[in-house]
Amino acid sequence: MMHKKLIQSCAVLFILASASADAAWEALPDVAPAPEDNPTTEAKVTLGKMLFMDPRFSSTGTISCNSCHNIMEGGDDSRTFSMGVHGKTGGRNAPTVWNSAFHSVQFWDGRADLLEDQAKGPVTNPVEMGVSEIEQAMDKVRAIPGYKPYFDEAFGKDSMTVDNAAKAVAAFERTLITPNSAYDKYVKGDKDAMSVQQVRGMETFASTGCIACHSGAAFNGPKMEFGQGFYAKFPTFSDKEYDEKYDLSADKGREEATGKASDAHMYRVSTLRNITDTAPYFHNGSVNNLSDAVRVMAKLQLNKDLSDSAVEDIVAFLSALTGEYPEIIMPRLPATSGYSLVADK
């Protein structure tokens, strides 16, 4: 297994990327990978979509997964910080759920290895769904008779468990991928798929050094084994103007999850797929303009000041990474007959 310090540094990748502008451009696969113990099936996806959309097992009956990761839009909520139960807000920007199946680990700080693990986290987070014990949330699901046939079909009899609910949500999320962007078509051979400016931006993206961390099919690092995280330090370089304006160093990043000083300001490298649809940017949602985000990244990660034309070209290239969103039909959620799970008692 690759040593984690090597994974975290990005230094080797930077050297390789700097040595050649001929990056290994990859198209996004049409199917997302799944772990051996949770192969994707239609029954799981159907159940997972329902659970993803259902707010009733949050403590207030008001917050679902889709509340913060709106798949009818960019897979986020367009807010600086998402709003959970009782109007509470957290301290990090909600990342898009689109193409999250291709992340090396989940959450900004990588505290969950798999989508199955991530699906459980927000339920008991006091700011998000606010349930004190995850079994309490599952008890609410069990109390809705209409869910049982879906669990039975997906997992068999007596299968209404927290782990299976998380597996179903993860299976649904693995269908949330957006291939066939202009970039994908271009690297597959259609040289008319991207504009002249987008191609120029692609070359600038590589020669500037962005590809050092934002590589691979999802532009979030090299393909890795499940749970083996690809991290980068952010910010790497200091800039007084940006530090004061965006407060990017206040969050300790992965250190808050591990307690290790060596993990300070380390973050999972984010996907650039559909980035035009997921403003505001960065872990604290402090930058609301993609051109500004490109300038900030160049300065704080590569210690480079980009010209306006270079920024415009890179932004044009990034727009070519927006893929085809699949049609999402909202599910009919099973009802409770003659009583409510969420009414004030």
Q: Would residue 128 show up in a list of annotated catalytic residues for this protein?
A: yes
User: Are residues 53 and 68 in contact, defined by beta-carbon separation less than 8 angstroms?
Assistant: no
Active-site choice (128, 225, 312, 324)? 128
Annotated catalytic residues are: 128
